[in-house]
Chain A
Amino acid sequence: MQELLEISNLEAGYGLIKVLWGANLAVKQNECVVLLGVNGAGKTTLLKTVVGLLKVWKGKVTFDSNDITYLRPDIRIANGIAYMSELAIFPNLTVEENLKLGGYFKGDKENKKRMEKLYQYFPDLKEYKHKMGGSLSGGQRKMLGVAKTLMSNPKLVIMDEPSSGLSPKFVKRVIEVLNMFHEEEKVAMLIAEQNISFLDFAEKTYILDGGKIIFEGSVSELKSNNIIREAYFGITH
C-alpha cells in the first residue's frame, strides 16, 4: 500500500537546541502507527514538526505524495491532517464551540451529526456542552481533545498522548472510538502513546530515542525484543 505520510531525515528543535537528529518514519493509507519513546525522547517535537508548529531544520515531510515540509499549518490541516496536541483545547470557548472548530472545514449540518455521534461515546461532553473548555478536569479535556480531532474526517489523525490522565474506563472508550473511525472511515493514525493498551490496535510501532528512530516494526516484533521490553515495559525476566 502507498505511504500516506513520510518523514525522512527530519531534524528540528528549539532555538539552538536540536531535538530531532534525523528521524525517519512512515504511515501508510489506513494504517495505525503508535510512536513510543521515553519521556523527553522528542515525540511531541516530532508531531509538532509534522503539523508545522515547529520549523523543519533539515529533512523532508511528504503527505499524500506532496512535499509539505514548508507549508503553513493551516494548509496541512486543510489537506487532511487532524492534530491533537497535549493540551488539546480552546480554554475560552464552550465544549460545543470547541467541537465545532474541530470540524472547521465542514458544514453545520455535518458537524451536528458528528457531534451527536461523539456525544454518545463521551456523555460527559454532552452534559457539559455549554461549559468553558478551560474549566474541565484534566481527563475531560482529553476527551474533548479526542472528540474534537475526530470532528473532521481527515486522512490522517495525529494524536499526542490521547490517553494520559483518562480513567481506565475512558481509555478503553477512546481506543474503541479510534478503532471505529479507523474501520469506518479508513483513517490513518499516528499516535504518540505510552499506554500499552494502545499496542493491541497498532499495526506498526516506532520507538524514538534521543531524537532518532531506534526501532521500527510490528507489535509482535516489539514484544519479542527483550531489550525493549525491559526498557519500556519494565518487565524483567
Chain B
Amino acid sequence: MSLNNLMLNVEGLIKEFGNFRALDGADISVKEGKILGLAGPNGSGKTTFINVVSGVYKPNGGKIFFNGKSIYKLEPHKIVHLGLNRTFQVPKPLSGLTVEQNVKVAAVYGSKEGNTKDKINSALSSVELDNVKHKEASSLTSAQQKLLGLARALATNPKMLLIDEIAAGLNQHELKRIADMLIKLNKFGITMIVVEHLMSFLDILTDDVVVMNAGVNLFRGSIKEASMNEKVVEVFLGR
C-alpha cells in the first residue's frame, strides 16, 4: 500500500478529557475513493475520532494526514477548505436560518470553486431536501436535520466525508435510500468514513470496516470476518 493514495491516514491518535482517554492511540486510514465503515460499542470513541480529525476538538497526540498533508491541530474551517468535512451524530443545524441559507453559508465559505447557486441546488437535491428549502431548519425532524448537515458538508465541495450515524432511527426502507445516496456520492469521487451500528447498513456500502473499542481499533477487515471475530462479537455485536 503506497502512502500516496491514502486519502486519510491517522496514526496513534490520542484525545483526553480530563484524565479520561477517549482515544488511546487509534490508527485508521482510508484510500482515496473508498468507503470505510467504522463501528464499535457505545462510547468507544468513534464520534471523538471524527471530532478530532475534523478539528472540532484538539488532539493530545498522534498524527493526522489528509491527502499527504498534516492537519493535526488545524482549525476546522481550514480543514474544510482542504476538502474534508463531516456530519454530526446529534444534528447541529443553524436553527434560525432556512434550509437554503444553511447550505448557502457552506457554499459561499466552504470552497471557492463553483457557482454558489449550483452548489446549493445540487447539495439540496442530493439529499432530497429541495422541497423544504424555505422551511426553518429548526422545524425539520431530527433525521432531516442530519440530512441537512450532509447537504452543508456537500456544499463545501469535499473530497472526503466523515459521516456519523446518519441512519440511526430510520426504517429499513429509508436506510436503503440513504445508503444509495451515499453510494452515489462515493461514485462522484467522495471518499468516506461512515460510522454506523447497523451492520446491514454498512454491508450495502462497503466491505471494509474498522471496529473500535475503548479508544483503539480492535479489528479491521470485512464485515463477514467481523461477525465471526470473537472479540468483536463479545464487545460489539453481542451474543
Partner-B contacts on A (CB < 8 A): 14, 17, 36, 38-40, 44, 86, 124, 135-140, 142-143, 161, 164-173, 194, 196, 230-235
Contacts and interface: CB of A to CB of B under 8 A. Distances in A.
Nearest to B43: A137
Given A167-B39, A194-B169, 12 more contacts: A14-B139, A38-B173, A39-B171, A39-B174, A136-B43, A138-B165, A167-B40, A167-B236, A194-B174, A232-B172, A233-B171, A233-B173
A167 B141 contact: no
Contacts of A44: 141
B236 A168 contact: yes
Contacts of B170: 39, 194
A40 B238 contact: no
Contacts of B105: none
Interface footprint category on B: 20 to 34
A63 B177 CA distance: 38
Interface in B52-80: none
A172 B41 CA distance: 13
Nearest to A14: B139
Contacts of A161: 169
Nearest to B174: A39
B173 A168 contact: no
Report, nearest first, the 4 A-B pairs whose CB atoms are least far apart.
A139-B42, A169-B238, A164-B169, A234-B173
Contacts of A231: 173
A136 B237 CA distance: 20
Contacts of B238: 167-170, 172-173
B121 interface: no
B171 A143 contact: no
Contact of A137 (B47, B141, B171): B47
A165 B172 contact: no
B236 A169 contact: yes
- Residue among A166, A169, A230 with the most chain B CB within 10 A? A169
Given A138-B47, A164-B168, A230 B41 contact: no
B218 interface: no
